[in-house]
């Protein structure tokens, strides 16, 4: 959900959509029931300590209502056991509807109070969320004090300043995707493909990533011929007609969306100066590694899951909106090759929304970070890679399997007001983060140009896409067991804080997925 100028209008639309959904649900007995939320503990409203320093200067904040899908800090593991026998797709449908229903109820109860605060100017720029039951807004000290009195409000976090542009944006071009290749290529493959045994998955298991959608969250995308063949198109949106055809609040979101500029433009910087500058090609390279495909003109296939689809999202502060969009498009993985330090208590907000997203069937993946030489443990791994269970972090090694000195190490530490585990094992696994080849938009390959765990994460995403292509109903907690148990130990014996469980082994992971899938079918 996005910034809504009129909260009342948003509430009316939200309640109508929920009512229609519940009516349809009641009329179709075959559909499973909604899942009850859980109450947040505590008698008073909790306000992040840093917000108590706010004066008259308005700041961005995030508010949680008192009912959430996952209540306390241990709810993820508890509810994972509750739904251990579910299929991912069925669970996604139930959780999404449950989250939206919970959100509509809480917002309905708080509607009058929030509308009054908006009209008085105490708060502004209200952005309702359903992935987390709450909203974001801008408020000063008085506004924060008044929000604490609103019905259902339970926690108030510091938000992030949005870089949203108010300038008009030119329409983004609709990519006329060339014919998809009928099979994977074996020519001029980058070296990491064979090192991770992805090519063996294609050839021997016949699994190529077909049927999966992978979201790449970055800051710039150049639509190369390779990516044009694999880009996702939102079939419910008519390109460049200036209308919100699918009713999700976004105009022309057909290949992804730029939440900073509120436009479909995914190219924020064109190639200039040093064309190989990773600032220009960072998002492009991540997408190439996940599902870059061979072109008819001979541009090589760089993707771990070459028959998968991808879409791009850009946002500096609206992570909730981006994740909601991904889930509503039916996305499978969500790649985050970025790292945010010093979030303080707001780490809990990021963690909760990604835990909810995980129950919606979305696999979040991040590189482990590149801060081993500049930062001490336990903060070498920052947000989002420091999130346990719901976010998979990939550290990196070199081509010869030796550890890269800059690769961030675990453990991470959770001692926020909401999550109290203390030290937590991270990363989960490793891939390659040094000397990775760069595929230029013109098809030229520059060997050894890319360094950083930004590129290990997409290798993890591509592997997950292969696994989900083999079994779309694979649950996040089951996938984690498979990919860690099949990894090749490359560091100190056993699980370690540098390489996790070891180097991803695509073939062993997908083969195990297929084995377990067939066992499940046989038992039904």
Lookup: tokens for 85: 């026998």
**Whole-number pLDDT of residue 166:** 43
What is the pLDDT at residue 298? 87
| pLDDT at res. 167 | 45
Q: What share of the chain is helix, strand, coil (3-state, %, to 5)?
A: 35, 15, 50
Q: How many CA atoms lie within 13 A of 474 on its CB side?
A: 29
User: Does residue 114 contact residue 123 with C-beta atoms inside 8 Å?
Assistant: yes
Please state whether the peptide bond connecting residue 427 to the residue before it is cis, i.e. omega within 30 degrees of 0.
yes
* Closest-CA residue to 214 (of 86, 59, 380, 334): 334
pLDDT of residue 3: 41
- Residue 322 contacts residue 313 (beta carbons within 8 Å): yes
CA distance 210 to 256: 19
Separation between Cα atoms, residue 362 and residue 491, nearest integer Å:
29
CB atoms within 10 A of CB 192: 21
φ, ψ at 345 (rounded to 5°): -65, -20
H or E element: which one contains 41?
none
For residues 60 and 145, give the distance between their C-alpha atoms in angstroms, rounded to a whole number: 14
Residues 367 and 385: their CA atoms lie apart, in Å, by 7
Mind telling me the catalytic residues?
218, 282, 454
Which residues are CB-neighbours of 356 under 8 A, at least 6 positions away? 68, 69, 70, 95, 99, 131, 132
pLDDT in tens, the chain (524 residues): 344 445 555 555 454 444 444 434 434 445 778 999 999 998 899 999 999 888 888 999 999 999 999 999 999 999 999 999 999 999 999 999 999 999 999 999 999 999 999 999 999 999 999 999 999 999 999 999 999 999 999 999 999 876 554 444 555 666 666 667 767 878 889 999 999 999 999 999 999 999 999 999 999 999 999 999 999 999 999 988 999 999 999 999 999 999 999 999 999 988 876 666 767 899 999 999 999 999 988 899 999 999 999 999 999 999 999 999 999 999 999 999 999 999 999 999 999 999 999 999 999 999 999 999 999 999 999 999 999 999 999 999 999 999 999 999 999 999 999 999 999 999 999 999 999 999 999 999 999 999 999 999 999 999 999 999 999 999 999 999 999 999 999 988 999 999 999 999 999 999 999 999 999 999 98
Task: Return the pLDDT at 2.
Answer: 40
DSSP 120: H
Question: Is residue 325 within 8 Å of residue 311, measured between CB atoms?
Answer: no
* Backbone angles phi and psi of 126, in degrees to 5: -75, 130
pTM above 0.85, yes or no: yes
**Rounded to an integer, what is the distance from CA 405 to the centroid of its chain?**
27
> Is residue 482 exposed (0-12), middle (13-18) or buried (19+ Cβ within 10 Å)?
buried
Torsion-angle region of 504 (φ positive above 0: left; ψ -120 to 50: alpha; else: beta): beta
Q: Which pLDDT value is given to residue 147?
A: 98
Q: What is the pLDDT of residue 18?
A: 47
Strand arrangement of the beta sheet that strand 391-397 belongs to: 256-258, 309-314, 213-217, 333-336, 363-367, 391-397, 429-432
Contact between 303 and 290 (Cβ < 8 Å): yes
Query: How far is it between the farthest Cα atoms of the chain?
Result: 65
Alpha-carbon distance of 310 to 325, in angstroms, equals 13
The whole-number pLDDT of residue 503 equals 98
What region does 127 belong to: left with phi over 0, alpha with psi -120 to 50, or beta?
beta
Q: According to the model, what pLDDT value does residue 296 have?
A: 86
> What separation in angstroms does the CA of 96 have from each of 23, 151, 388?
16, 24, 21
Q: According to the model, what pLDDT value does residue 240 have?
A: 87
SS3 367: strand
47 has which bridge partners? 156
Vertex 57: Cα angle to 54 and 58 (nearest 5): 90
Classified as helix, coil or strand, 481 is helix
Residue 461's SS3 state is helix
Give residue limits of the domains in the chain. Answer: 7-158, 209-523
For domain 209-523, which architecture applies? 3-Layer(aba) Sandwich (3.40)
């Amino acid at each position: 959900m996005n910034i809504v100028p009129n909260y009342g209008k948003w509430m009316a639309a939200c309640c109508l959509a929920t009512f229609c959904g519940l009516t349809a649900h009641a009329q179709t007995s075959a559909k499973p029931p909604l899942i009850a939320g859980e109450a947040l503990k505590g008698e008073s409203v909790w306000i992040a300590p840093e917000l108590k320093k706010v004066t008259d200067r308005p700041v961005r904040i995030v508010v949680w209502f008192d009912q959430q899908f996952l209540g306390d800090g241990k709810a993820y593991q508890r509810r994972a056991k509750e739904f251990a026998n579910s299929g991912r797709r069925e669970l996604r449908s139930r959780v999404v509807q449950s989250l939206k229903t919970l959100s509509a109820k809480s917002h309905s109860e708080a509607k009058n109070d929030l509308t009054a605060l908006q009209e008085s100017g105490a708060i502004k720029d209200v952005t309702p969320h359903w992935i987390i039951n709450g909203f974001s807004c801008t408020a000063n000290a008085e506004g924060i004090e008044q929000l604490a009195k609103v019905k259902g409000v339970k926690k108030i976090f510091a938000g992030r300043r949005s870089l949203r542009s108010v300038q008009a944006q030119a329409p983004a071009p609709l990519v006329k995707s060339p014919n998809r290749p009928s099979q994977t290529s074996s020519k001029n493959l980058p070296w990491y493909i064979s090192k991770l045994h992805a090519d063996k998955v294609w050839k021997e298991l016949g699994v190529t990533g077909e049927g999966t959608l992978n979201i790449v969250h970055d800051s710039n995308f150049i639509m190369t011929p390779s990516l044009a063949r694999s880009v996702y198109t939102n079939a419910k949106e008519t390109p460049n007609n200036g209308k919100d055809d699918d009713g999700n609040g976004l105009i022309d979101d057909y290949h992804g969306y730029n939440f900073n500029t509120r436009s479909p433009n995914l190219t924020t910087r064109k190639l200039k100066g040093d064309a190989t500058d990773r600032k220009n090609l960072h998002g492009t390279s991540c997408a190439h590694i996940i599902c870059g495909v061979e072109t008819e003109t001979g541009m090589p296939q760089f993707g771990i899951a070459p028959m998968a689809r991808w879409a791009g999202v850009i946002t500096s502060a609206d992570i909730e909106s981006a994740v909601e969009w991904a889930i509503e498009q039916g996305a499978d993985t969500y790649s985050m090759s970025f790292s945010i330090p010093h979030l303080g208590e707001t780490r809990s907000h990021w963690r909760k929304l990604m835990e909810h997203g995980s129950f919606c069937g979305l696999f979040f993946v991040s590189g482990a970070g590149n801060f081993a030489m500049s930062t001490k443990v336990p903060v070498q791994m920052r947000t989002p890679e420091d999130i346990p269970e719901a976010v998979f972090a990939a550290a990196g090694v070199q081509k010869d399997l030796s550890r890269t000195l800059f690769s961030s190490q675990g453990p991470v530490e959770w001692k926020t007001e909401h999550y109290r585990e203390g030290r937590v094992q991270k990363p989960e696994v490793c891939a390659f983060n040094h000397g990775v080849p760069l595929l230029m938009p013109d098809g030229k390959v520059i060997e050894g140009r890319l360094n950083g765990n930004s590129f290990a994460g997409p290798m993890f995403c591509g592997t997950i896409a292969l696994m989900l292509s083999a079994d779309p109903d694979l649950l996040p907690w089951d996938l984690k067991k498979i990919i860690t148990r099949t990894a090749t130990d490359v560091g100190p014996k056993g699980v370690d804080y540098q390489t996790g469980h070891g180097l991803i082994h695509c073939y062993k992971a997908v083969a195990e997925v297929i084995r377990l899938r067939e066992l499940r079918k046989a038992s039904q």
